Structure 1
Amino acid sequence: MPIISVVIAEGRSVEKKRRLVRALTKAAVEAFEVKPETVRVILNETPLDHYAVAGETFGEKAEAGGESK
């Protein structure tokens, strides 16, 4: 049973997350030749202030008008 764990920044729409889950499931089915019912996908949404690059959180970037996701 494939289990796919993904960490993403919070704030994406439900539809985008559903689209990602469908695409990941399809990829696992094709790559591992398993039934879709056996594929598990876990989305872990991280608050923007809990994710940083080069010492600046994505929350800070969003406040400054920069790219956040």
Structure 2
Amino acid sequence: MPLVEITLAEGRAPEQIRALLADVHLAVHKAINVPEASIRVVVREVPPAHWSAGGQTLAERAAAAAETANTGS
């Protein structure tokens, strides 16, 4: 029974998450030809304040980008 785990920052529409689940499910089925009923796909959404890259949280990056856009710098 294949299990695919995907972690994303929060903020996507439910329709986008549903499309991701369907597309990943189909890709697993096509790639390894297992019964569709045995495929598991889990999407975990993480708050942007709980995810960092390069020592800066995604929330901090978004705030900095918004500030730059507002000041025109």
Shorter chain as denominator, the TM-score bin is 0.7 to 0.9
* Residue 51 (1) aligns with residue 62 (2): no
1:62 Cα offset (Å): 1.4
TM-score by structure 2 length? 0.83
| CA-based RMSD | 1.1
Runs in 1 of length 4+ with deviation above 2 angstroms?
Answer: none
2:21 alignment partner in structure 1:
21
Note the residue ranges of structure 2 that are not aligned, 5 or more in a row. 67-73
Distance 1:28 1:58 in 2: 29
Larger gyration radius, structure 1 or structure 2: 2
Distance 2:59 2:36 in 1: 36
1:13-48 CA-to-partner distances (Å, cap 9, x unmatched) read 101101110111001101110122111111111110
Task: Name the SS for the 1:22 alignment partner.
Answer: helix
1:11 Cα offset (Å): 0.8
2:69 alignment partner in structure 1:
none
Note the residue ranges of structure 1 that are not aligned, 5 or more in a row. none
Code of the aligned partner of 2:25: T
Number of residues of Structure 1 aligned to a counterpart in Structure 2: 66
* Residue 38 (1) aligns with residue 38 (2): yes
